Chain A
């Protein structure tokens, strides 16, 4: 059989023979890892606890996870395919992230396993240095790739969760509600950044047009702090609403925010402000010509 050797292929795949040699070494390696499964696994779990990683999990849980990670690890070394491991890493991340496991812990335990296994290889082949060398040649790239796969899987899962949460916050953050004919309320809760302020304004303006609103009450009781950028966004929202023919009443300015605004000298003169949401809605009703009448006196309660 003729084998064409190209100069630019990686040294590991120089020839069929080499590949076969590596495969044989990997088989030997896997056999070793299978044989010593119990002992290596225990050693690993012990090292994890010693290094105080995964403190959010109990001893039994760590051992159970260690077992499945170990098996997946060996399988990845044996088959050279990482899909199963990748899926497992994602699944593991999904389970442990909500419990507060950090990236450094996950990377840490995988590197510990790598270390534990490498040490066992040292112990086994310490008399035969050449053999040890070639075994490590076969083991190291696989181990590196595994560590890489697990770490990347974990980080990707975290990022996915962050993206999802950002999306959720964004969707939750701007409810424009109609409480009376031609009266809208916009309760703002949480921090406002320029992106959110823009989205908020756009949504409000659209709602003013669809609901034909004349008065809008913006309640900022839930806004903890406000800087000059956010304050000027608020002023812009008020002005843009006015251009659409709607009047804006701002309610719920906390003493802290009031003080900040006065200190930084934001011009809130164009704004109609009322103490709380109730007052704001009452004022809006007055402007729209509504009158709320209590009927309790006519029907005495039991």
Chain B
């Protein structure tokens, strides 16, 4: 099942609608990394609210996606991880290290807007 990628001003938003196979995931990763350059986007938001399972392949692919996007000069925010999924992930040692996360799409946009603003103002606020 293909994940639709929407362009919203400077951001690309990919909303996962249903469980994804490994092939779908790699496809999503490649498509986003491709388009982020094509549209000269500042950031990518991946919404995983619909996922009630996140296995090691999925979280590694998302982490790789974020690293690749960063190398392409943009930001990535993963939003909408369910509490149960988050707990299961850390128990498996999958903690998406170095990847920004937010509660939901709204929060993810707020985070990016805030970041863009502070960057525009010349401040060097860094994410930990």
Contacts and interface: CB of A to CB of B under 8 A. Distances in A.
B90 A244 contact: no
A264 interface: no
A245 B96 contact: no
A243 B89 contact: yes
B101 A239 contact: no
Q: Which of B85, B86, B91 has the most CB atoms of chain A within a 10 A radius of its CB? A: B86
Contacts of A209: 83, 103
A196 to B, nearest CB: 14
B83 A206 contact: yes
Interface residues of B, number: 20
Size range of the chain A interface in the assembly: 10 to 19
A64 B97 CA distance: 70
Nearest to B78: A243
Interface string A208-250: 1100100000000000000000000000110111111110000
B102 interface: yes
Contact of B90 (A208, A212, A236, A246): A236
Contacts of A208: 83, 103
Contacts of A242: 95, 101
B55 interface: no
B86 A212 contact: no
A246 B103 contact: yes
Interface string B39-74: 000000000000000000000000000000000000
A209 B83 CA distance: 8
B91 A244 contact: no
Nearest to A212: B103
A243 B107 contact: no
Q: Give the dominant DSSP class at A's interface.
A: helix
A212 B107 contact: yes
B36 interface: no
B103 A240 contact: no
A30 B91 CA distance: 66
Contact of B95 (A239, A244, A245): A239
A72 interface: no
B81 A243 contact: yes
Given A245-B79, A245-B107, A240 B87 contact: yes
Nearest to A246: B103
A193 interface: no
B61 to A, nearest CB: 16
Contacts of A246: 103
A286 to B, nearest CB: 13
A272 B127 CA distance: 13
A-B complex: 3 closest residue pairs judged by Cβ atoms: A205-B83, A245-B102, A243-B86
23 contacts: A202-B84, A205-B84, A205-B86, A205-B87, A206-B83, A208-B83, A212-B103, A212-B107, A236-B87, A236-B90, A237-B90, A240-B86, A242-B95, A243-B78, A243-B81, A243-B89, A244-B83, A244-B86, A244-B101, A245-B101, A245-B103, A245-B111, A246-B103
Interface of B: 78-79, 81, 83-87, 89-91, 95-96, 101-103, 107-108, 111, 128
Interface of A: 201-202, 205-206, 208-209, 212, 236-237, 239-246, 272
